C-alpha cells in the first residue's frame, strides 16, 4: 500500500470516528458512591466521572456523576474548607472511548500538611450578609487561597439555605467554583472572592 493511500485511510478512519458520537455511561447519585440504574448516553466529546464529598456538620454526603464531559472541568480537583467542620472535595476524570467512564468513586488523598497560609474563618447559615469572625483557619495541602462566599445554595438533600462563609480553597475550586459541584447547586450568588 502506498504512503498516500495509508494516509488517506487514516484520515478517513479519523473522520468516520468523529462522525459518530461517543457512548458514555450515564447516572447521577446525589447521596451515594454507587449509581443505581446506569444507562447509556451519546456524547459529542469525552465521557466523565465526577466524585464529590460534601461535609457540613451532621450532613456527610458522597455523590457520583457519570455522563458527558464538561471539557473545561476535566482533570480538576476542587477543595474547600470553612471552619473545621465544613468541607467540599470534588474530582473530575475524563476519558475517550465508548463507555470508558466506568470508574468507581474516587477522590485524591487529602493532604493534611499545613501550607503556611492562614485565612479568616467564618461560617454563618441562614444569612447572606457578611459573616464576621476574628478567628483564622490554618490552610492545608493544595488550599493556597482564601475565599469569601455569600449566596443561596440548594443542598444535596434538596433543601435550600443562605450561606455566608470564609475559609481556604484551592485554585481549581476557586476557578470553577459551583460549576464543578455535583450535588450542590448555587441558586443565587451575592459574592465569591478568592
pLDDT at 126 over 70: yes
50-85 pLDDT tens trace? 999 988 888 889 999 999 999 989 999 999 998 768
**Alpha-carbon distances, residue 83 vs 18, 19, 20, 150, 180 (angstroms):** 47, 50, 48, 15, 21
User: For domain 21-193, is the CATH number 2.10.60.10?
Assistant: yes
Q: What is the pLDDT of residue 17?
A: 45
pLDDT at 5 over 60: no
- What is the pTM (predicted TM-score) of this model? 0.82
Query: Using 50, 70 and 90 to split pLDDT, how confident is the model at 12?
Result: very low
If we measure between CA atoms, which residue out of 143, 151, 89 comes closest to residue 119? 143
Average pLDDT over residues 29-52: 92
Least confident of 124-128, 163-167, 175-179, 189-193: 175-179
Domain range summary for the chain, segments of one domain joined by +: 21-193
Bridge partners of 101, per DSSP, are none
Amino acid at each position: 500500500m502506498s504512503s498516500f493511500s495509508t494516509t488517506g485511510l487514516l484520515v478517513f478512519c479519523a473522520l468516520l470516528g468523529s462522525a459518530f458520537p461517543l457512548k458514555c455511561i450515564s447516572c447521577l447519585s446525589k447521596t451515594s458512591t454507587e449509581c443505581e440504574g446506569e444507562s447509556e448516553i451519546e456524547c459529542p466529546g469525552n465521557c466523565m466521572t465526577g466524585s464529590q464529598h460534601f461535609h457540613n456538620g451532621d450532613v456527610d454526603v458522597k455523590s457520583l456523576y457519570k455522563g458527558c464531559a464538561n471539557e473545561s472541568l476535566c482533570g480538576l480537583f476542587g477543595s474547600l474548607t470553612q471552619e473545621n467542620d465544613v468541607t467540599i472535595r470534588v474530582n473530575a476524570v475524563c476519558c475517550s472511548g465508548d463507555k470508558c467512564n466506568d470508574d468507581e468513586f474516587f477522590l485524591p488523598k487529602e493532604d493534611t500538611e499545613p501550607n503556611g497560609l492562614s485565612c479568616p474563618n467564618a461560617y454563618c447559615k441562614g444569612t447572606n450578609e457578611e459573616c464576621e469572625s476574628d478567628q483564622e483557619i490554618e490552610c492545608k495541602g493544595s488550599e493556597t487561597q482564601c475565599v469569601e462566599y455569600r449566596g443561596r445554595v440548594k443542598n444535596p438533600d434538596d433543601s435550600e439555605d443562605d450561606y455566608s462563609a470564609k475559609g481556604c480553597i484551592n485554585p481549581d475550586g476557586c476557578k470553577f467554583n459551583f460549576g464543578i459541584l455535583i450535588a450542590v447547586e448555587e441558586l443565587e450568588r451575592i459574592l465569591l472572592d478568592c
